[in-house]
Every structure is written in C-alpha cells, then in structure tokens.
C-alpha cells in the first residue's frame, strides 16, 4: 500500500484537486500540466525575492557541499556568526542576542519561554501573557494558547493555557484596547510577564490593520509598567509592511522580536528570536539551572543560515525597497479602483499587503466563498488563498508590472463574478 500525503489546512473529504507544481521562478509557478501560475501570496507569505533567486540557490549549493549540519549546543560555525553579525545592520542596536530555531511557531515558543525565564531567574513568578484578540502566532500548543481561540483549536482548547486578552483596536475605539492593556499591567495580584503582539497587521486573523500610533502607545504602557514587549514579526518582517520590520514605523524597540518566513527569502525553514541584553543577562550565570533550556536538532542549520545570509546580501545589493515601494503605489491605485464596487467592504492596505472583504461586512474564515474564490483564481492562473471571504494580496517583491496587472484584473473579475 502506498502511504497517502496528509496536507495542512486541507479538508481531504471535500475531494478538491491538489495541483502539482514542478518548478518555480520569480513570481511564477509551473504545474505538471504545463500551466504558469502567478504566486500572489508569496507561497504562504514566505517568499520575498521570488522563487529560485540565483544568489540564494548558489549560497545553498556552496554551503551544503562544505558543512551541512552540526550540533549548535556548545559548538558554532561561520554561517551563523555571519548571520548574527549581518542581522545587526537590520535590527535595532539593543536587539543584540540572536537565538535560532526552525519556524515562526518555535520562534514564538522561544520568545514566551525567554520572557518567563527572565522573570523566574530573577526570583519573580510572572506567568500571565497578554495577547490581542484575533491574533495568530502559530500552531504549536504554546503558540495556539497566545492566539485567537476558535474552530482552529477547539479540539485542543482544554490544553491551552490562560492568557489576558485585549480587544483589537478598531478605528475610533483604540482607547478601549489601551485601557484594557493598562488594566492588565496594573493588576498587582497577577502582573503580566509579557505582551505579545503582531505589529501593525494581524495576518491569519483576517489581515486586520491598526495604526503605528496605537502600537507605540501599547509599547509605552508596557514600558511604564515593566511588562516585556514581544513583537511577532514572523509575517510582517522583511519588508511586508513597507519597512524591513513593522516596529520601525512606530519607532519602538521590542524586548524580544520573532522572525521566520522571509528570513531566508522564504526558501528554507529558519527562525530567529532576537532578544535584548536584559533578557540574555537574566539567563547568564555560573548556575547551570539558569541556562536557557531550549533547542531543536537543527538549531542554526548551516545551510539555512547560508540562505539567510544570501537574503541579507540581496537586501544590500538589490533595489528591494524600490520594488516594495512600487507595489505599495500600485496597490493604492488598485484600491481606489476597487472602491467603485459595492459588494466589497473594508478595502485596506498595509505596505505590500492589500485586503478587503467580499459579500459580507466582516471577515468569516469558514465562509463558503473561500474555497470557491480559491478555485476561481487558480482556474485563471493566479495563486490566491482567501481567508474565508477576506481576499488579500501579498506578492513577492519581484513580481513584474504585467503580472501584478494580471492579478488585479483577475481579482476584479472575481469581485464582479461573485457580486
């Protein structure tokens, strides 16, 4: 008997076709039956410079021929050292301790453990994590615990730990969010260890956008009350919101910053949890019981680090910011064009991400429209995977003008078709 592949976030019982991709280049995917598909969601938000970028391909080839994998507990290697050094040019100065792992979810788990360890090692027991409604931080148990509860994790709900939730700062009601955060931060009986936040835009929760002013204000409240601030930049990092990291737009420096998806240009799994000196120092001791108890087999895999170094090289050598700015300008024009349709709502943009709801006033992940839209787009040669009735674009920065125009016209066709 041949083993069957069990795909993620896929209901096999619906019997929908699962197309096969045999090759990819730039923003184009090629199917086994010879079709070309435009990758308008960066292969699930990871690809930044496009598929099979020669600089990254070469780095992987070269690295895999000289040092492929080595234990990272108590040993080190040049690609990791180079990456830590290179990241300093992109991160705020105070985020100067780099911890490696393999995915966004583990980067978040690491951040939570660092935050709890920070308090524990200093003799304070602080365990409460404050989160924002509609957040998504990954699919492992800890990451699910700090993420939105719902159909995604109903079966596991009894295992998820309690958190303090603040409402999403909808426009006009930002103060409610800030007051809720202040209330948690000033609770003397159960002071929070940390706030974890997706800066500027909540991704999987429906591409919900809030202002940099609110972000800065949440940061100020945490600072004032000595609550650690964790920025989950797994999706927003590496240019998505228009700056390398979203936190830049609020002028804030988190205590801990998580990145993954675009870190290797979206080519191989690698994640970083960057921490400030006080977090590291709380684990620095002659006492072995205070070390940071976390690792995975492939921590800082040299091939993955080489791919990330190549990503940094591309950011230094190529006009990446210009490409991003071009997408931002084109999205703005398209948003204006879309606003003429009356069966869509909440057209919004955060950097290179453009989103809107179709047919209903608000997003609903289980909307039957989702799979229909996906099919509609795929049949027309565009990879888009709406979150229910929330359609969003998140193209790789290498997407050409012509490709972007094609994506826009297919989206507009869908808006008219499903009207």
Footprint on this chain of ligand PLP (rule: CB under 6 A): 103-105, 108, 136-138, 198, 203-204, 232, 234-235, 260
Residues in a beta bridge with 26:
51
Q: Based on CB atoms, which residue is closest to ligand PLP, 104 or 395? A: 104
**Of 130, 148, 129, residue with least CA distance to 139:** 148
Q: Based on CB atoms, which residue is closest to ligand PLP, 87 or 204? A: 204
- The rounded distance, in Å, linking the Cα atoms of 265 and 247 is 20
Min dist. Cβ of residue 189 to ligand PLP (A) = 30
Min dist. Cβ of residue 103 to ligand PLP (A) = 4
Residues in a beta bridge with 387:
390
Does residue 10 come out as left (phi exceeding 0), alpha (psi in the -120 to 50 range) or beta?
beta
Min dist. Cβ of residue 418 to ligand PLP (A) = 26
Q: Based on CB atoms, which residue is closest to ligand PLP, 261 or 330? A: 261
Q: Based on CB atoms, which residue is closest to ligand PLP, 207 or 227? A: 207
Min dist. Cβ of residue 306 to ligand PLP (A) = 19
For residue 94, what are the CA distances in angstroms to 107, 118, 214, 276, 365?
18, 16, 22, 5, 38
- The rounded distance, in Å, linking the Cα atoms of 62 and 82 is 15
Residue number closest to ligand PLP, CB atom: 104
For residue 403, what are the CA distances in angstroms to 26, 85, 381?
11, 36, 10
- The rounded distance, in Å, linking the Cα atoms of 343 and 419 is 6
Q: Based on CB atoms, which residue is closest to ligand PLP, 28 or 135? A: 135
Q: Based on CB atoms, which residue is closest to ligand PLP, 39 or 232? A: 232
**Of 368, 249, 268, 283, residue with least CA distance to 64:** 268
Min dist. Cβ of residue 245 to ligand PLP (A) = 13
Min dist. Cβ of residue 140 to ligand PLP (A) = 8
Does residue 376 come out as left (phi exceeding 0), alpha (psi in the -120 to 50 range) or beta?
alpha
Min dist. Cβ of residue 253 to ligand PLP (A) = 19
Strands in 21-25's sheet, in edge-to-edge order, are 21-25, 28-31, 36-39, 382-383
- The rounded distance, in Å, linking the Cα atoms of 313 and 268 is 16
Min dist. Cβ of residue 234 to ligand PLP (A) = 4
Q: Based on CB atoms, which residue is closest to ligand PLP, 238 or 334? A: 238
The token pair that represents 241 in the structure block: 């919101």
Does residue 30 come out as left (phi exceeding 0), alpha (psi in the -120 to 50 range) or beta?
beta
Q: Based on CB atoms, which residue is closest to ligand PLP, 303 or 415? A: 303
């Amino acid at each position: 008997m041949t083993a069957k592949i069990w795909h993620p976030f896929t209901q096999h019982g619906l019997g929908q076709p699962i197309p096969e991709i045999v090759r990819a280049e730039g923003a184009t995917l090629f199917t086994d039956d010879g079709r070309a598909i435009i990758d308008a969601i960066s292969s699930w938000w990871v690809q930044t410079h496009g598929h099979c970028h020669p600089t990254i391909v070469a780095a992987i080839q070269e690295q895999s021929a000289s040092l492929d994998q080595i234990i990272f507990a108590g040993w080190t290697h040049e690609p990791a050292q180079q990456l830590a050094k290179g990241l300093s040019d992109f991160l705020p100065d105070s985020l100067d301790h780099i911890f490696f792992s393999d995915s966004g979810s583990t980067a978040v788990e690491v951040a939570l453990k660092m935050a709890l360890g920070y308090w524990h090692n200093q003799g304070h027991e602080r365990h409460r994590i404050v989160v924002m409604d509609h957040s998504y931080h990954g699919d492992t148990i800890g990451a699910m615990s700090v993420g939105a509860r719902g159909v995604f994790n109903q079966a596991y709900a009894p295992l998820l730990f309690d958190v303090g939730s603040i409402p999403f700062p909808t426009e006009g009601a930002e103060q409610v969010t800030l007051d809720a955060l202040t209330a948690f931060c000033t609770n003397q009986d159960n002071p929070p260890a940390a706030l974890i936040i997706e800066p500027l835009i909540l991704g999987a929760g429906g591409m919900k956008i809030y202002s940099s002013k609110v972000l800065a204000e949440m940061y100020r409240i945490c600072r004032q009350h000595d609550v650690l601030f964790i920025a989950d930049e797994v999706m927003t990092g590496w240019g998505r919101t228009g700056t390398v990291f979203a936190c830049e737009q609020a002028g804030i420096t988190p205590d801990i910053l998580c990145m993954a998806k675009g870190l290797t240009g979206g080519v191989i799994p690698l994640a970083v949890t960057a921490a400030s000196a006080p977090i590291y120092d709380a684990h620095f001791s002659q006492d072995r019981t205070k070390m940071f108890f976390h690792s995975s087999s492939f921590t800082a895999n040299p091939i993955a680090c080489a791919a990330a170094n190549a990503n940094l090289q591309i950011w230094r050598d190529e006009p990446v910011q210009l490409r991003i700015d071009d997408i931002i300008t084109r999205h703005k024009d398209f948003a204006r064009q879309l606003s003429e349709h009356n069966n869509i709502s909440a057209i919004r943009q955060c950097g290179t991400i453009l989103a809107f709801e179709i047919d209903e006033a608000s997003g609903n992940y289980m909307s039957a429209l989702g799979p229909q839209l996906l099919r509609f787009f795929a049949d027309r040669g565009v990879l888009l995977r709406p979150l229910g009735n929330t359609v969003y674009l998140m193209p790789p920065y290498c997407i050409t003008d012509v490709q972007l125009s094609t994506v826009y016209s297919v989206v507009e066709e869908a808006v008219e078709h499903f009207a």
